[in-house]
Amino acid sequence: MRIAEVIGRVTLNRCHPTLQGATWLVAAPLAQTALGNDSSRGRGEPIVLYDELQARDGSLIGVSEGAEASAPFYPKQKPIDAYNAAILDDIQID
């Protein structure tokens, strides 16, 4: 699981029937340097992910990717590669 910051939304004209009712977010994965005081450094390439938790712009989220992204929907299958697994309230780095 990676931590990412929501930076936007995707608007779809049509989607796969199993994906209706959720939103698609654009999020930038964050390195540990971006979680500290200097948030301008340590951002990865933005990704598009499936979201049922209603995260908003600027939210920090936990992103599950690959086969693990579709695991919460088992036994149903959803054609997704990245999933918002959690909205994070606070991050503490020691």
Residue 16 confidence (pLDDT): 83
Q: What is the pLDDT of residue 19?
A: 84
What was the pLDDT predicted at 37? 61
CA separation for the pair 41, 21 (Å, rounded)? 34
Q: How far lies 84's CA from each of 19, 37, 40, 87, in Å? A: 14, 24, 22, 8
CA distance linking residue 76 with residue 78, whole number of Å? 7
Query: Is domain 2-88 classified as CATH 2.40.50.220?
Result: yes
Annotated domain spans of the chain: 2-88
Beta bridge partner(s), residue 48? 26
Tokens of 20: 């209706």
- pLDDT for 33-91, tens place per residue? 777 665 566 788 999 999 999 999 999 999 999 888 888 888 888 888 999 999 999 88
Dihedrals φ, ψ of 89, to 5°?
A: -85, -40
